[in-house]
Amino acid sequence: MRLVHRPVLCNYYLTYRCNAACHFCDIWEKPSPYASLQTVAQNLRDLRRLGVRIIDFTGGEPLLHRHLPQFLEMAQRLGFLTTVTTNGLLYPKRAKELAGKVDMLHFSLDAANAPQHNALRGGVPCFEFVMESLKVAQQLGEKPDILFTVTPDNWQEIEAVYERFVRPYRLILILNPVFAYNKVGTAGLPPEAMRALRQWGRRPDVYLNEAFLRLREQGGNHPEKPVCRAASTTVVISPDNHLLLPCYHAHEAGYRFPIQGNLYQLYHSPAVAHLRALEGRFSFCSGCVINCYMEPSFAVEVSRYFWASLPSTWRYLRKKWGLRGVWALLRRRWQAPSPEEPQPAPAFV
């Protein structure tokens, strides 16, 4: 049974450029422009009309975009929850201008030691900057999460990251099982890693969506009976202002639609509606377990994956904000101005 019939999340790619070269990602290999203030401002208003709740300003490395603080301000003013994930290289330099503007700030950290973490990041010395970022965030009163991408090579590092960084800083550890796409990464974690992840998902201050593990055990998405609802739950926008379907990771085999200041109308066009109806049914969707699209898919439809994901999601929300904080975030959206109301012009710098 479908509970929500509108998109809930926007993955907004501000640039594909990155100052790291992670082994489980190929986005950094792509040439890329930067999203413009004008297009982001217009698209945010249309996203609000579409019913989107969360804007993930992503990349590449989103902190490379000099207008990120303005984007975050515009999104919060319209009532969106904002999320940003960073490798930490630029955070110490930009922390003050971002403070208070990111509802869910994630620092990527995949090992408790510099050699192993930096090797996963293509030899770029990210570890040292994550250490500095944690201290700076603490000084500013920010509460980032630690995002740990779990691979066959680093899953035994979870304990050390938890004890060395999560508990002392009183943070949340998000465990993100690696996934394969376009011949990048691997979806296959060894059985002992899967068992360890399941145990870690029950630990205090750890977020792991149990449905991720169950989906992997069931062989991923099956086109004849799809779990994936990527095209109807998630709006994906490229740096050059295209709507990507059915998702970012498969759009090269799928479709790119120029937005041209008309995202709301484009989303409801017959061509896009047709592709939404085919979500999860394309041949390239077979076996897919991509977390960033499965998570919203689990949330909008009652299924075994919905019930599997519910406890961990609720635990995360309570730990992150508490009941009063969740209520305050809901009120922010309800009290936000309508996208049809005049909005202050974005500040150009």
pLDDT, tens digit (0-9, with 9 covering 90-100), for 157-171: 999 999 999 999 999
Q: How far apart are CA 337 and CA 298, in angstroms?
A: 29
For the record, the structure tokens of 155 come out as 């899953």
User: Does residue 346 sit within a domain?
Assistant: no
The answer to whether 157 touches 123, Cβ cutoff 8 Å, is no
Reported confidence tier of residue 346, pLDDT bands at 50, 70, 90: very low
- The rounded mean pLDDT for the chain is 91
Q: Is the dihedral of CA 149, 291, 248, 240 positive or negative?
A: negative
Helix (H, G, I), strand (E, B) or coil at 222: coil
User: Does residue 51 sit within a domain?
Assistant: yes
Q: What is the pLDDT of residue 180?
A: 79
User: Does residue 341 sit within a domain?
Assistant: no
CATH number at residue 312: 3.20.20.70
pLDDT at residue 3 is higher than 50: yes
User: Does residue 340 sit within a domain?
Assistant: no
Reported confidence tier of residue 349, pLDDT bands at 50, 70, 90: very low
Q: Which has more pLDDT, 328 or 15?
A: 15
User: Does residue 79 sit within a domain?
Assistant: yes
Q: How far apart are CA 230 and CA 213, in angstroms?
A: 18
pLDDT at residue 348 is higher than 50: no
Q: How far apart are CA 242 and CA 268, in angstroms?
A: 15
Express as a percent the part of the chain with pLDDT over 90. Answer: 80
User: Does residue 343 sit within a domain?
Assistant: no
pLDDT in tens, 239-298: 999 999 999 888 776 799 999 999 999 999 999 999 999 999 999 899 999 999 999 999
Q: How far apart are CA 167 and CA 283, in angstroms?
A: 43
Q: How far apart are CA 170 and CA 168, in angstroms?
A: 6
pLDDT at residue 341 is higher than 60: no
Cis status, amide bond into 246, omega within 30 of 0:
yes
pLDDT in tens, 95-114: 999 999 999 999 999 999 99
User: Does residue 3 sit within a domain?
Assistant: no
User: Does residue 43 sit within a domain?
Assistant: yes
Q: What is the pLDDT of residue 99?
A: 97
The answer to whether 12 touches 1, Cβ cutoff 8 Å, is no
Q: What is the pLDDT of residue 23?
A: 80
Q: How many domains does one find in the chain? A: 1
In degrees rounded to 5, what are phi and psi of residue 301? -140, 130
Query: Mean pLDDT throughout 117-136?
Result: 95
Range of the domain at 68: 9-335
